[in-house]
Amino acid sequence: MNKRRLGLLTGTHAVNDLYQGLVPALLPFMVLERGYSYTAVSGLMLAATGLSSVVQPLFGLYADRHPRSWLVPVGFLVAALGVVLAGMSQSYLMTWIAIALCGLGIAAYHPPATVAARAAGGASQKAMSVFSVGGTIGASFAPVLAATVVGGGGLSRSYLLGVPAVAMGVLWVTATARRGAVAAAAAAAAARKQAAGGVMKPHNDWRAFSLLVATIVGWSIPYVTVLSMLSLRITRDLHGTTFQGAAALTGFTAAGAVGVLLGGWLGDRIGRMGTIRSGYLLALPCLAGLVLSPTPGWALACTALLGMSMFLPFAAQVTLAQDYLPRNPATASGITLGLALSVGGLVSPLFGMLSDARGLGVTLTVVLCVLCVATVLALRLRNRAPVIPPVEAEAAAAA
């Protein structure tokens, strides 16, 4: 494990996902200052998330065919530029284009950065979990940063939001310039060795990968639904306070970060398949407990356990996807982290309509059934020996 390289990539992940979190964090200020309607706000979120999810696999394909380490800093710098321009723009059209630009930067960052983190971490599942939590930490700081910068002086001060990306860009250049030649030489030597020896990467297992994608889709739908309906469930159905609703949402997110780290630790000890199956099997009774909770207190406890359980498989699923497609690890990352995870958001309006018609209890029961299907699919997943491509491994070790 190259801890220095992994630490640098984790820092870039925190900065990149900071800008992913800044988009929804800035929307209330845009509504107040510019008078945007809810429809206009929905259009901006579509520009940020929908476009990013669709194009992320395309960036994965490009990164697999033409490995370029500069995509990592360019990704979070473009994301920062989009956020800054969105805050400084006066027209809705320019704001929409700027936020779409932010989504493109975020999409460009994730596939190559995830592959680089896997190479730096070697066979360790804990390494991937640390990298993943970096993004969670960055996103969690977004509301605070938005309130501090924009809340005190209006959207005209949005240019200050670019400071974290510029600082990380300087750090990236400083840290990589000194070792760039060494890493390039190591990669070239590994490529020559692989070509001379006739070494071929194992074949892509698209059938197994498709099963994994279906499993992640079945995970995404309950996750997004619980995230969007949790506060209402506690305040309206269980007659809890607004503080309890907010506490449940915070606890769900924080427990997810703990689950990612715990899942990486377990993956190195009991194996990633045991971690994946344990996460899904533990999540079922926790979600059932949330559906059947008679009081806000029980709902809070079940929510925390649900967040931890649902994120136990996260890091293991990322590395398993890359090992199912060893010839296209960046594409695997783009599909699993982009397209598959976004399905929950795409179908969320349908569950909103169901909640309006039948109530939140019925909606949560339906997503519990979806999670049951995902659990069955997870139990059918089979492990595959970790594949760290020699070029990436030797270059990461030298960097």
Q: Are 102 and 162 in contact (CB under 8 A)?
A: no
Residue 196 falls inside a structural domain: no
Tell me, yes or no, whether 236 and 172 share the same domain. Answer: no
Residue 305 lies in a domain: yes
Task: Please check the confidence at residue 39 and state whether its pLDDT lies above 70.
Answer: yes
**Residue 248 and residue 163 share a domain:** no
Domain span at residue 93? 3-177
31 and 75 co-located in one domain: yes
Whether 262 and 167 share a structural domain: no
pLDDT at 395: 45
The verdict on 41 and 169 lying in the same domain is yes
Residue pLDDT, tens place only, 236-265: 888 888 888 878 877 888 888 899 889 888
- For residue range 306-340, list pLDDT tens digits in order: 999 999 998 889 889 989 998 888 888 888 877 77
Q: Are residues 243 and 127 in the same domain?
A: no
* CA-to-CA dists, residue 390 to 192, 228, 262, angstroms: 11, 43, 28
* Predicted pLDDT of residue 244: 85
CATH of residue 145's domain is: 1.20.1250.20
Alpha-carbon distance of 280 to 292, in angstroms, equals: 19
What is the domain count for the chain?
2
Q: Which of 8-17, 198-207, 326-335 has the lowest mean pLDDT?
A: 198-207
pLDDT of residue 187: 52
Q: Are residues 254 and 354 in the same domain?
A: yes
Helix (H, G, I), strand (E, B) or coil at 37: coil
Largest Cα span, the chain = 69
Residue 23: DSSP 8-state? H
Quick check: 394 and 190 in contact, CB under 8 A?
A: yes
pLDDT tens digit sequence for 115-161:
888 888 876 778 888 888 888 888 878 888 888 888 777 888 889 99
Check whether residue 14 and residue 131 sit in a common domain: yes
277 and 338 both lie in a single domain: yes
Q: Are residues 255 and 313 in the same domain?
A: yes
Cα atoms in the 13 Å half-sphere on the side-chain side of 337? 32
Residue 165 pLDDT grade (very low, low, confident, very high; cuts 50, 70, 90) = very high
